[in-house]
Structure 1
Amino acid sequence: MINIFEVNETNKMIEQEKLDVRTITLGISLLDCADSNLDSLNKKIYSKITTLAKNLVSTGKEIEREYGIPIVNTRISVTPISLIAGQACKTPENFVSVAKTLDKAAYDMGVNFLGGYSAIVSKGMTPADENLIRSIPMALSSTEWVCSSVNIGSTKTGINMDAVKLMGTIVKETAEATKENNSFGCTKLVIFCNAPDDNPFMAGAFHGVSEADAVINVGVSGPGVVKHALEGVRGQDFEVLCETVKKTAFKVTRAGQLVAQAASERLNIPFGIVDLSLAPTPSVGDSVAEILEEMGLESVGAPGTTAALALLNDQVKKGGVMASSFVGGLSGAFIPVSEDQGMIDAVNRGALTLEKLEAMTCVCSVGLDMIAIPGSTPASTISGIIADEAAIGMINQKTTAVRLIPVIGKEVGDMVEFGGLLGHAPVQQVNKFGCSDFINRGGRIPPPIHSFRN
């Protein structure tokens, strides 16, 4: 049982070290909304979301006031739309109408984002999957709160290279469609390998088909808390370092568990998981990069960075698992560039390259996240980066993802502003050698030998 005394222990973390509950995410199944008539489908979707989520934002504010724990976002995730809209949506334009319905529901409920404009195509694409994917540039340029994701591979199925090729083009088209706003649409588009069903974090959240009709998932974050704890053990050995991270992660997760249970009880919706992910913000002192540098690195990107991140990720998960019986989602450390001032500084000083970031994704929570690249980058190169990241996830049986922003009209060294939690980012250099012949082969990369288990 969790009580208020445990929360009191976190007061200093909240007041001085930027501990927060990053999101309460309400997952909603739309499987029972499927309909062959587009108007009827949209009405059912809007009705179900607004019925279940009507008290979501107010409940979050109540919990925030009562416990004094900042709740930064309230969000909604829904069943991947390609699975429920295929009967009614025969063209990309049809799917865009569903995106606009989702956007209206998100606006009317007052949430920050709504995820699930998604397709799961790790082994192949149905006509509905392909139509949704082709609609993404239109959908993200004509909505404000809708987020999209596409799962193009898994350890069990391999990598769908036809989908990888298509997603390179879709990322470019989304950048073009939103070029008047620094290609902002790409900040709401994630390409996954091994996507989890219970991820509360945007832009990749969707409500998996294995989930209940509705569920509450909570994402907790506290990079500043971990950094402050490590300042107290500066220079001590790795055993002390690991124990400090683990104990801190335990305390942070317990605060998230309390919020999750309270939200579940008040909304009368089952509690799903707590995701303890050290997700940074652009605020000074809320940086994963600064944690790694506190461990002894002169700068993120220096030799030893991947080892330090592996240690951090593992100890965060160990502490979280001890604090809650239901830890899930993407728990670990995020390394988005634009959302982490320490990462931005490392890029600007020449210490952190795209290639080093890729190496770090072998051991971090997700993958290449919120990275601005030149708008002139070819679609085939973007597909190649997606394929590389998917291969890391497939071989290592972990979730990996790509959220690249090819900012139209910008080149290496330019700074791009996205605003809010999305921050700002320097445009990074991309390898100029091509891979189009590889990407154009078509077909599927088979799963690794160790996937053959039954």
Structure 2
Amino acid sequence: MLNIMEVHETNRMIEQEKLDVRTITMGISLLDCASDSLETTCRRIYGKITGKARYLVATGQAIERDYGIPIVNKRLTVTPIALVGASCCKSSEDFVQIAQTLDQAAKEVGVDLIGGYSAIVSKSMTPADELLIRSLPQALSQTDIVCSSVNVGSTKTGIDMDAIALLGHVVKDIAFETRDNDSFGCVKFVAFCNAPDDNPFMAGGFHGVSEGDCVVNVGVSGPGVVSRALDEAKGKDMEFLCEIIKRTAFKITRVGQLVAQEASRRLGVPFGIIDLSLAPTAAPGDSVGEVLEKIGLDQVGAPGTTAALALLNDQVKKGGIMASSSVGGLSGAFIPVSEDKHMIDAAASGCLTIEKLEAMTCVCSVGLDMIAIPGDTSAATISGIMADEAAIGMVNQKTTAVRLIPVHGKTVGEQADFGGLMGYAPIIPVNQVGCSAFIDRGGRIPAPIHSFKN
């Protein structure tokens, strides 16, 4: 538990430095809902979600009141639906019915988002995986709070290029189907390499098959706290800077640990992990970009950005691990362009390019996230970017992801507005030189030599 000094510090971080618990996420296994009847499967899914999660939102609100700690989102993750629906779904439309059931059940219990409309195709696609992927334009345009992910590769298996080739077209179709809302459907989809089973953040969260029947995971966020702490490090050396970041991450994680244990106790559900990710918002003072600039950059994207981000990510993880034995998920620093005021400004000025962002993903927690690109970007180019990012994850044994929004009808220099935590983004250019001959080869990129560790 927190001692009295930590209570005072926590109050200051909440009141002045925008500390919040970004999400309490309940993970629910739906494996026992599978059947050979679509109607039965949907009924079981609805019943299990509404039964397990009926007190999640009220519990989160009670913890907020009792401890004064803001909990921004209450969310759900479920077993990858390609597995759950494999026996009963004979068409993409069948999978869409399950997506609509997830949407209805999540709204019934009052959560903000539900993740797990997902497929794991690290090596190749099953027929069910392919049907789910092809259903995404319809599923994400006809539901409101369902989020989806596809894991296209891993260090152990390589990269499924057939899935990546298909996803380039699917992302374009999602953008078209939600064209009246700045292609918002693409905000709810992410392609992963090395996806973690216990990620509480969206759009990539799902309840992995290695997890138990029901678990509570917590995602903590505190870029504003780290930013204010770095005011003490002005003019100091790297060792002092690292110590400040580690100590701050420790304090933030302690708050998350308290909330996670209390939520677990009140809900009667096992506590899973704390994801200590510096997840920004577009609000002033809540920016990872601002943290990087306080480390010494004139603007995010300048030379030195990747090194500064590597330092930040590592120190955040070191501080978090000292505070909790249950740190998991993605844990580190997120760089979603549309959700970070300083990154939005850097992208708008041209200082932060998609190539620089790709370099940064080698050392951050995830990947190319919430990047608005021209709506006429080709499917092959989108697939090529996914392949590049998956290769970074595969070779470096880390999680990487791509969440691109090709905003239908808009081009470089215009802006897309996604609302709420999703923020807004300038549409930035991408390299349009063709790569279709590479993407169209299909097959699988083999796992790297260092994957063979058995």
Shorter-chain TM-score: what band? over 0.9
Residues 113-262 of structure 1 mapped to structure 2, 5 A cutoff: 113-262=113-262
d(CA) in 2 for partners of 1:395, 1:189: 23
**Alignment of 1:433 onto 2:430:** no
Structure 1 match to 2:91: 91
Whether the 8 Å contact between 1:6 and 1:255 is mirrored in structure 2 is no
Structure 2 match to 1:390: 390
d(CA) in 2 for partners of 1:83, 1:6: 44
d(CA) in 1 for partners of 2:274, 2:413: 38
The offset of 1:3, in angstroms, is: 5.3
- Secondary structure at 2:339 match in 1: coil
The offset of 1:6, in angstroms, is: 3.1
Structure 1 match to 2:63: 63
Which residue identity lines up with residue 330 of structure 1 in the other structure? L
**Alignment of 1:29 onto 2:29:** yes
The offset of 1:232, in angstroms, is: 1.3
d(CA) in 1 for partners of 2:4, 2:406: 46
- Secondary structure at 1:204 match in 2: coil
d(CA) in 1 for partners of 2:302, 2:184: 30
d(CA) in 2 for partners of 1:22, 1:412: 31
Aligned residues: 454
**Alignment of 1:447 onto 2:443:** no
d(CA) in 2 for partners of 1:214, 1:416: 37
Structure 2 match to 1:363: 363
d(CA) in 2 for partners of 1:163, 1:323: 39
Which residue identity lines up with residue 161 of structure 1 in the other structure? M
Structure 1 match to 2:309: 309
d(CA) in 2 for partners of 1:4, 1:392: 44
Residues 306-345 of structure 1 mapped to structure 2, 5 A cutoff: 306-345=306-345
The offset of 1:175, in angstroms, is: 0.3
The offset of 1:250, in angstroms, is: 0.2
The offset of 1:4, in angstroms, is: 6.5
Which residue identity lines up with residue 367 of structure 2 in the other structure? G
The offset of 1:233, in angstroms, is: 1.3
The offset of 1:5, in angstroms, is: 5.5
- Secondary structure at 1:27 match in 2: strand
Which residue identity lines up with residue 452 of structure 2 in the other structure? F
Cα offsets for 1:111-155 (capped at 9, x unmatched): 000000000001011111000000011000000000000000000
- Secondary structure at 2:338 match in 1: coil
Whether the 8 Å contact between 1:114 and 1:147 is mirrored in structure 2 is yes
d(CA) in 2 for partners of 1:62, 1:100: 29
- Secondary structure at 1:210 match in 2: coil
Residues 107 and 3 (structure 1), Cα distance of their counterparts in 2 relative to 1, 3 Å cut: farther
Whether the 8 Å contact between 1:7 and 1:67 is mirrored in structure 2 is no
d(CA) in 2 for partners of 1:442, 1:9: 54
Structure 2 match to 1:42: 42
- Secondary structure at 2:398 match in 1: coil
The offset of 1:8, in angstroms, is: 3.3
Whether the 8 Å contact between 1:7 and 1:255 is mirrored in structure 2 is no
The offset of 1:236, in angstroms, is: 0.1
Identity %: 71
d(CA) in 1 for partners of 2:279, 2:257: 17
d(CA) in 2 for partners of 1:305, 1:226: 17
d(CA) in 2 for partners of 1:405, 1:231: 35
Cα offsets for 1:218-251 (capped at 9, x unmatched): 0000000000000111110000000000000000
The offset of 1:2, in angstroms, is: 4.5
The offset of 1:367, in angstroms, is: 0.2
The offset of 1:432, in angstroms, is: 1.4
- Give the TM-score normalised by the residue count of structure 1: 0.99
The offset of 1:208, in angstroms, is: 0.2
Structure 2 match to 1:13: 13
Whether the 8 Å contact between 2:348 and 2:428 is mirrored in structure 1 is no
Which residue identity lines up with residue 403 of structure 1 in the other structure? R
Which residue identity lines up with residue 17 of structure 1 in the other structure? E
Q: What are structure 2's unaligned runs of at least 5 residues?
A: none
d(CA) in 2 for partners of 1:195, 1:76: 17
